[in-house]
Chains A and B, each alone.
Chain A
Amino acid sequence: MPIRSIEQVLTEIKTFEGLEQRHLDRIAGCGTNCGFAAGEVIAREGDPADTFYVIRHGRVALETSAPVGGSLLITTLGDGTVVGWSWLIPPYRWRFDARAVEETRAIAFDGACLRGKCDSDHELGYVLMQRFAQIILDRLQATRLQLLDVYGEPARR
């Protein structure tokens, strides 16, 4: 039953929308439900990225730390979004801290397991790469907009 429910959740996540059943089966097979308390660290910058998460309910912040001022928030991610793509691309290490901002329920996917499936099933690998490229593109676009500092003082931009 838990596997079935993960698969069901996946069909409602934009990133996995419209995937073929066999691909969904294989992805869901690498997932387990998990939860994080508010403030709990999910991943640390530099750690091996063997896992990625799909947020079912809650909010996760990607952060980095500065010597003064503590953590700097880069972005916050909400329901239905994917946290982490470092598992897909060498050197498979987290680039930022991931921390639950509020109580968060998620599905954790074993990246190493999924990588193995992708290596043996290139069609799955292609489909997954396509979907993750979309996430990377969306985040890149959002980051570019943040960089524009559109609300800043025009003269100082």
Chain B
Amino acid sequence: MTPRPWRVIDRRRETADSWTLELEPADGGPPISYLPGQFNMIYAFGIGEVPISISGDPGGGGPLVHTVRDVGAVSAAICRARPGDQLGVRGPYGSAWPVADVGGRHLLIVAGGVGLAPLRPALRDALARRDELARLTLLVGGRTPADLLFRDELEELHADRRLEVAVTVDSALGGWRGHVGVVTTLIADLDFDPATTTALMCGPEVMMRFAAEALIGSGMSVADLHVSMERNMKCAITHCGRCQFGPTFVCREGAVMRYADIEAIFNLREI
């Protein structure tokens, strides 16, 4: 439960309210090895601790990467951290995107808003194992073009023949060359075989609900859908009880969950 000190070595602005931080251990200890989809508890000195998914390349070595959206006092303090500043880190916690288990299939990644951050390690992992996959698709939804994370990387991925990328935003001005519309419209436009596709989804719950509906509507089995859940969390080790989602703890069974496991409660309110 005690965090280790990590030093911020780089800080990049992603959008008006999101930053990507790179960190290295400040205590001489080992780096963290993690699976795509796992998260750390990040502590801003004297202010508090919040769960933040890891957004780096799990196979890449190098620094620990977190992309943080400023939505509260703690995340704001983390976003303010400058190179040289130290943050507390403990983890990694939680489950992983099943990238390694989908060999031979079409991996469909559906990200909404900052939901792209927890999916980025899955995408990097999928690209590293591209030979094992039959097909790789990335669908990204955002609010406006300016709100998209990893824009440079998305541009590069657009040109990358190993995967198909489609990006849509809810609203845009005339200069935008991409799609406008909700992310479900990208699913409707996608020509794919539902029987051989596995989908990973992360974004606001409303978006995942509609995306799941669209995927199931196109013939996918619930067993092939995976979502990433978010709940209040103080300890990340099931003791605070706060991240309960029905019978699950988001910190233990999640954040990545099999849709089939939570289907019964996913569409209920206030669970």
Contacts and interface: CB of A to CB of B under 8 A. Distances in A.
Chains A and B directly touch (beta carbon < 8 Å): yes
B268 interface: no
A61 interface: yes
A61 B179 CA distance: 8
Interface residues of B, number: 31
A78 interface: yes
Contact of A149 (B114, B170, B185, B189): B170
Contacts of B189: 78-80
A151 B171 contact: no
B206 interface: yes
B182 A72 contact: no
A73 B174 contact: yes
Interface residues of A, number: 26
Contacts of A1: none
A103 B124 CA distance: 33
Contacts, number: 70
A154 B114 CA distance: 13
B172 interface: yes
Interface string B105-144: 0000000111000000000000000000000000001110
Nearest to B72: A155
A69 B176 CA distance: 12
A73 B172 contact: yes
A150 B180 contact: no
B181 A76 contact: yes
A71 B220 CA distance: 37
Interface of A: 59, 61, 63, 69-76, 78-80, 101, 138, 142, 145-146, 148-154
Given A63-B174, A78-B189, 10 more contacts: A70-B173, A70-B174, A76-B180, A142-B181, A142-B184, A146-B181, A148-B206, A149-B143, A150-B204, A153-B71
Nearest 3 CB-CB pairs, A to B?
A151-B113, A71-B174, A151-B143
9 contacts: A59-B179, A63-B174, A69-B173, A73-B171, A73-B173, A73-B176, A142-B184, A145-B184, A150-B113
